[in-house]
Each structure stands twice: as C-alpha cells, then as structure tokens.
A and B are shown apart, each in its own frame.
Chain A
Amino acid sequence: EAAVTQSPRNKVAVTGGKVTLSCNQTNNHNNMYWYRQDTGHGLRLIHYSYGAGSTEKGDIPDGYKASRPSQENFSLILELATPSQTSVYFCASGDADWGANYAEQFFGPGTRLTVL
C-alpha cells in the first residue's frame, strides 16, 4: 500500500515568514497533489504535479509555490505567510490516470498550519 508522509505535522508561523511543507511518497506514483481544508469546506486543490520537475496550478494557487525535485518529494512553499493561510494541508499521490478507470489518490495524514 502507498505510504505518504508529511512534515511537519504541526507548524506555527508568523505573518510574513516563509513556510515549507514537505511530502514524501514511497510508492513511485507519478502524480502528487497539495490540498487545503478549512472548516466547512471540502478539500481544495492548490498545486499538483505529473512528475519530477513539473508543477501545475490547481484551483487556489495564489500565495503558494510548489516544487517537485524528485519522484518521491513534493513541497508546498508559502513565501510570505498570512493568517488566511491557516488551515490543514493534505498531500496525496496517485498513478497517472489515462483511462476511464480511476487511479486512486493516497493521502498523507495532514499538516496543521497556524499563521499568527
């Protein structure tokens, strides 16, 4: 079964500071995703990647950058953190999905970020 880990699990940052959230997957999946979840909302897609060196904008990319230096690692970077970015962040990975069958996404346990 795919293993997706995230670090840190909890983070407190100051407004204007730089924050990096890291994600590692050990199942050699091509695709990786970053979501955030706020109370009362579903998970929303921030950035995703089809493989090492690629990053794509999701639905809410403003204020975030992403980096995919290798097949295993996918980082989410907040260059200038703001209180509105306080949220729970989930990373996921999955196989490339070229057909009508669904390639399941495997999720990490989440990172709780608080920006003061």
Chain B
Amino acid sequence: GDSVTQTEGQVTVSESKSLIINCTYSATSIGYPNLFWYVRYPGEGLQLLLKVITAGQKGSSRGFEATYNKEATSFHLQKASVQESDSAVYYCALRGPFLSGSFNKLTFGAGTRLAVCP
C-alpha cells in the first residue's frame, strides 16, 4: 500500500532560522498522488497547511513552501525564517490519483514536532 515517511520525530530550531522537514512517499497506484502538509497546533485539530495536486509544482502558505519532486518522491516542507508561533506538529500526507483505489483516503506520515526557541 501507500506510505509516507517523515524521518525526524522532533526538530528544534531557533527563531528566525530556516527550517526543513523531510517527507518522502511511496505510492502504489498508476499516476501521481496528491500531496499535502497538515499542521496541528496544541489543543487543536489538524488543519490543512498546503497542498500540491500536480507533480512538479510548488505549494505555499503562511511562509511555508513545499515542492512536489516526483523523481525523488519527496515533498519536503521549508520555511526561510521560523517564528515561535510555528511550534506545532506537522504531518505529510498523500492520497492516490483521481479514480485510483486510494483516491478517497489520506495516508499520513508519523508527524514531526517542531519546537521554535526564542
């Protein structure tokens, strides 16, 4: 089946420094999956941060960006300058391409907890 790997369980970054959270995926359906980053702030539910539906494109939101690299099967999340308010858990996720068997469900990575130090 499909899988999503986030290698870091926790990342600590100083405020105003750059961030990268790694995400790689494996998808079994023919065609390219859709890719997402969700974020969960303390005490809240997950919320969609950004999405990229088309392979090779970049998504961005709230200063974060991620590029869908179909050759490397990666979708790393980056930010040039983090703030303390970015402290949260970040989840990479995929769903299968349109009309595939896995189109109607999300497959999540284990999440990466980001701690931003003042």
A→B interface (CB under 8 Å): 4, 35, 37, 40-45, 48, 58-59, 90, 92, 97, 99-102, 104-110
Q: In the complex, which residues 28-65 of chain B have their Cβ closer than 8 Å to any Cβ of chain A? A: 34, 36, 38, 40, 43-48, 51, 53
A107 touches B46 (CB 8 A): yes
In the complex with contacts A97-B104, A100-B98, A101-B53, A42-B47 CB distance below 8 A: no
A100 touches B53 (CB 8 A): yes
A4, A42, A97: residue with the most chain B Cβ atoms closer than 10 Å: A42
A106 touches B45 (CB 8 A): yes
Question: What band does the interface of chain B fall in when counting residues whose beta carbon is under 8 Å from A?
Answer: 20 to 34
The prevalent SS among residues of A at the interface is loop
CA distance A2 to B38 in the complex (A): 16
List, in ascending order, chain A residues with CB within 8 A of B38's CB: 107
Please name 6 pairs of A and B residues whose Cβ atoms are closer than 8 Å in the assembled complex, sorted by A: A40-B110, A97-B104, A101-B53, A102-B95, A104-B48, A105-B48
CA distance A59 to B101 in the complex (A): 13
Q: Closest B-chain residue to A3, C-beta based? A: B45
B110 touches A102 (CB 8 A): no
Proximity string of chain B (1-37) to chain A, C-beta cutoff 8 Å, 1 when within and 0 when not: 1001000010000000000000000000000001010
In the complex with contacts A97-B104, A102-B34, A42-B109 CB distance below 8 A: yes
Min CB–CB distance A57 → chain B (angstroms): 11
Partner of B110, one of A35, A42, A104, A106: A42
A107 touches B47 (CB 8 A): yes
Q: Closest A-chain residue to B105, C-beta based? A: A45
CA distance A59 to B1 in the complex (A): 10
Q: Closest B-chain residue to A100, C-beta based? A: B98
CA distance A108 to B44 in the complex (A): 7
Partner of B98, one of A99, A108, A109: A99
A42 touches B108 (CB 8 A): yes
Q: Is B88 an interface residue (CB 8 A)?
A: no
List, in ascending order, chain A residues with CB within 8 A of B48's CB: 104-105
